[in-house]
Structure 1
Amino acid sequence: MSNPGQDEPGPLEPPAVVFARLTDVPVDALDKLIEATQEVYDDLNKVLGHPYWGDLVFHQGAAIKALKEARICLEGLRSEAVGARNTELGITVATAVAGGERYYAPTDDDKAALVDKVLRPQRPGASHLYVWDRPHEDPDAAGPYQQIRIVTDMEAEVGVLNFTEESEDGELQSWHTLNPESSAEAPALPFDAGSTLKFPRDAVLPFRDLRAALDEFTRTGERPAAVHWQTARWGDL
């Protein structure tokens, strides 16, 4: 017989429910605290030279530093919780960087629209596509190990994919697409807008093949089997 004074454990919640709750961390409230603490400095300047001024400035600076560090930690907690929840639910999120903007797609329809954005970016230059358990929001933070660079000639409706994979040890491997029926008339597309580095001509594929590969990548996050690949090399070849 159980002890009536002891709480009986309730039914276990699905992990996805717990992780979803963990994503609701008070980052916005912390931003307001940081802003309010920064505004204190204006008042401190009004009492410059007072015997207490130095200690007040020290504590205000220490508080700002601690709050900013706490914000980084909360963002990390939120991001990991989003990834854990999505993994439990079998959800992946595609992130595209095209025309200098970031776009996120969690659903199949959104991912198809994302592929259109990287094939036809608003501004010249390379686009990038990532697939992860969460949006890849911070380019300076650790992110997914795989990515695809997309360079296209929209008028000719052709382009090149460059797939890069990083091991957990930091070793990089890179492949270009390979066109088994390449043409000498194919354009030598630049690595990026204004770059003198060129993709080989036999890496150029029509949009229909690029779309098939990118659609596959948004589903799997792995190097697509829909197209052929070759070890990355450079030059007008």
Structure 2
Amino acid sequence: MTTTEAPTVITAIIGREFHYARTSAELEAVLDLLLVDGESQVFQWDRPCRQSKDGAINEFPADRLRLTCRDGWGALNYMSPGAHGDLVDSLGAEEAPPVLPFDEEGDLWFPRSASLPLAEVREAVAEFCRTGLRPTCVRWQPGHWY
């Protein structure tokens, strides 16, 4: 019996725009966009995520990686509402990093301890895109339902 793996599609929502990556070249381009200052969400699934303006279509997997990048720093929030209800924020080692917004419009902020240098954020996002699981290359702390 032969099994075939479903292709993986990365959906990145940057601002309010959807970007998709199916190839390694497309993934590198999306990673570059994600690390520009702003708030984003990333999903790994067997198809593109999609949403209609009227709310009739709302197709996303349960697991999500959210990130904010600003001025050479980033913070991550991983959510997997499955059996273990994983909800965590990144945990940085720097002593005085900046505080980054989780959702600037909603005036919600990551804890200061969540801030990481951008190189670590890129590595974690790339790992999530490969595995669809919480990245192991960074440390984590309990997150919040913002």
Report if the CA contact (8 A) 1:212-1:226 is conserved.
Answer: yes
* Matched AA of 2:67: I
Runs of 4+ more than 4 Å apart? none
Aligned to 2:107: 196
Displacement after TM superposition at 1:117 (Å): 1.3
On the 8 A contact 1:157/1:206 being kept in 2, the answer is yes
User: Counterpart of 1:145 in structure 2: which amino acid?
Assistant: A
Which structure has the greater CA radius of gyration? 1
**Does 1 or 2 have the higher relative contact order (CA < 8 Å, sep 6+)?**
2
- CA RMSD in angstroms comes to 2.4
Counterparts in 2 of 1:1-237, with a 5 A limit?
88-120=4-36, 124=38, 126-138=39-51, 140-153=57-70, 156-167=71-82, 172-179=85-92, 181-184=93-96, 186-233=97-144
Q: What whole-Å deviation, never above 9, does each CA across 1:4-49 have from its counterpart, x for those lacking one?
A: xxxxxxxxxx88xxxxxxxxxxxxxxxxxxxxxxxxxxxxxxxxxx
The one-letter code matched in structure 1 to 2:117 is: P
Contact kept, 8 Å, 2:10 with 2:20, in 1: the verdict is yes
How many residues were matched structurally?
Answer: 141
On the 8 A contact 1:182/1:201 being kept in 2, the answer is no
* Equivalent residues of 1:97, 1:128 under 8 A apart: yes
1:134-186 deviations in Å (ceiling 9; x for gaps): 11123753421211111111xx2101010011227xx843100011x2222x1
Q: 1:100 and 1:90 mapped to 2: Cα distance?
A: 27
> Residue 197 of structure 1: CA displacement?
2.0
Secondary structure in structure 2 of the residue aligned to 1:167:
coil
Answer whether contact 1:200 1:233 (CA < 8 A) is retained: no
Asked if the contact 1:183–1:201 (Cα under 8 Å) also holds between the matched residues in 2, the reply is no
Superposition TM-score, scaled by structure 2 size: 0.85
Task: Name whichever structure is richer in strand by fraction.
Answer: 2
AA aligned opposite 1:183 = E
Of Structure 1 and Structure 2, the greater helix share is in: 1
CA distance in 2, matches of 1:143, 1:198: 24
User: Does the aligned pair in 1 maintain the 2:50–2:59 contact within 8 Å?
Assistant: no
Which amino acid is 1:131 matched to? Answer: Q
Q: CA deviation at 1:188?
A: 1.2
What whole-Å deviation, never above 9, does each CA across 1:70-116 have from its counterpart, x for those lacking one? xxxxxxxxxxxxxxxxxx34421100000211011011221121111
Structure 2 unmatched runs, 5+: none
Give % identity: 35
Output one character per residue of 1:171-207: Cα deviation in whole Å (capped at 9) or x when no partner: 843100011x2222x1111111233321111110001
Counterpart of 2:58 in structure 1: which amino acid? A
TM-score, with length taken from structure 1: 0.54
1:230 is paired with a residue whose SS is: strand
Q: How far apart, CA to CA, are the structure 1 residues paired with 2:94 and 2:109? A: 16
